[in-house]
């Protein structure tokens, strides 16, 4: 299950992904209001996304945030990994943070591990295949 922090990050990024290309930076107060994210959490989330290279921030009276890449080049999976870490539900199937399960007798024969590999692969396929632009298009189609 996604944490509230990831849901906030996704809402903020989807909002920024819907902003006009080449438009002015969007102030944090507007992002918080439009994405329905408490400002105190948003500051920390935007800092993480900026440090990871997904956002540019601009200081000053006309400052704010904008995407560092076009919205069709930023996937939901990338955002979730920045905020949460690996997508794997168990550490023995993680591609980036592998650890053996302490209570497992044999990874090679573990039915849970094989099921979780399929879950990881399908989850990654869907999230990595869905961009901010796709999410905005789906929002518009559903509205």
Class of the 2-65 domain? mainly alpha
User: Which CA distances in Å does 118 have to 35, 94, 101, 135?
Assistant: 32, 12, 17, 24
Rounded-to-integer distance, Cα 128 and Cα 79, Å:
10
pTM above 0.75, yes or no: yes
- Helix (H) / strand (E) element for 56: namely strand 55-58
Give start-end residues of each CATH 1.10.10.10 domain in the chain: 2-65
Please report, in tens digits, the pLDDT of each residue of the chain (143 residues total): 789 999 999 999 999 999 988 889 999 999 999 999 999 999 999 999 999 999 999 998 888 999 999 999 999 999 999 999 888 888 888 887 888 888 888 888 888 889 988 999 999 999 999 999 999 886 655 54
Q: What is the DSSP letter of 131?
A: B
CA–centroid distance for 83 within its chain: 6
Three-state DSSP at 71 gives helix
């Amino acid at each position: 299950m996604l944490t509230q922090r990831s849901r906030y990050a996704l809402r903020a990024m989807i909002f920024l992904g819907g902003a006009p290309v080449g438009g002015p930076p969007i102030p944090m107060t507007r992002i918080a209001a439009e994405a329905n994210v408490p400002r105190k959490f948003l500051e920390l989330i935007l800092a993480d996304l900026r440090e990871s290279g997904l956002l540019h921030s601009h200081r000053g009276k006309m400052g704010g945030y904008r995407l560092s890449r076009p919205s069709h080049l930023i996937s939901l999976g990338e955002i979730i990994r920045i905020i949460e870490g690996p997508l794997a539900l168990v550490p023995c199937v993680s591609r980036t943070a592998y650890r053996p399960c302490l209570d497992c007798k044999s990874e090679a024969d573990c039915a849970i591990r094989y099921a979780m590999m399929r879950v990881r692969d399908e989850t990654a396929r869907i999230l990595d295949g869905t961009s901010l632009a796709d999410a905005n298009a789906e929002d518009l189609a559903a509205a």
